[in-house]
């Protein structure tokens, strides 16, 4: 007697998240004081399970000022809810549908510094089904603030001030005569 045994296929699905950080200014590039730039994180759910309450925390370098955070879901919807913690980190909670990607954009401003300073950024991601892990790191150099690099108070304005002083001297010398 031949017995047919049906194949039993059991899918064991574990939660997994892949995270990649990029920046709109290439890594290693020098950034000027007061320059706006953005860190972008792509989070990909590698499993068939929808992941709720994924925690994202970015400990931004102290040499940058946080401006805004935007979560962009694959269907085009966005969320800008963010919490700024006492330690200056920015935190948000999001969901990632199964086999889907979410992008987190963080806009920052380079602070004015008294010396060229190398900065580095990375974030931490955690979920109850996934051990906490860190993203890749991105590094830049923020150039020392130099007022001579700015076009404020230079050139013809300075010349005009000198001319005014010269005019005063000329008027004074005329009044003596």
Residue 149: per-residue pLDDT: 61
Report d(CA 21, CA 123) in Å as an integer: 9
Alpha carbon distance 82, 107 (integer Å): 12
Query: Which helix (H) or strand (E) element contains residue 168?
Result: helix 156-176
Whole-number average pLDDT of the chain = 84
What tokens were used for 159?
Answer: 């010349």
pLDDT of residue 46: 93
Predicted TM-score of the model (pTM): 0.76
Distance CA 154, CA 151 (A): 6
pLDDT at 174: 40
% of the chain surpassing 70 pLDDT: 76
Return the higher-pLDDT residue of 88 and 57.
Answer: 57
């Amino acid at each position: 007697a031949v017995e047919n045994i049906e194949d039993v296929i059991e899918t064991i699905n574990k939660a997994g998240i892949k995270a990649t950080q990029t920046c709109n200014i290439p890594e290693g590039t020098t950034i000027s004081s007061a320059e706006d730039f953005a860190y972008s994180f792509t989070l990909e759910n590698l499993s068939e399970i929808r992941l709720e309450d994924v925690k994202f925390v970015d400990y931004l370098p102290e040499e940058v000022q946080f401006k805004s955070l935007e979560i962009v879901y694959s269907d085009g919807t966005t969320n800008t809810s963010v919490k700024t913690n006492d330690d200056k980190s920015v935190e948000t909670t999001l969901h990632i549908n199964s086999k889907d990607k979410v992008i987190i954009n963080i806009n920052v401003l380079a602070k004015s510094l008294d010396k060229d300073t190398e900065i580095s950024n990375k974030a931490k991601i955690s979920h109850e089904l996934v051990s906490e892990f860190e993203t890749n790191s991105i590094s830049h150099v923020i150039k020392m603030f130099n007022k001579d690099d700015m076009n404020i108070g230079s050139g013809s304005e300075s010349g005009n001030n000198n001319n005014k002083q010269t005019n005063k001297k000329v008027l004074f010398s005329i009044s003596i005569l």
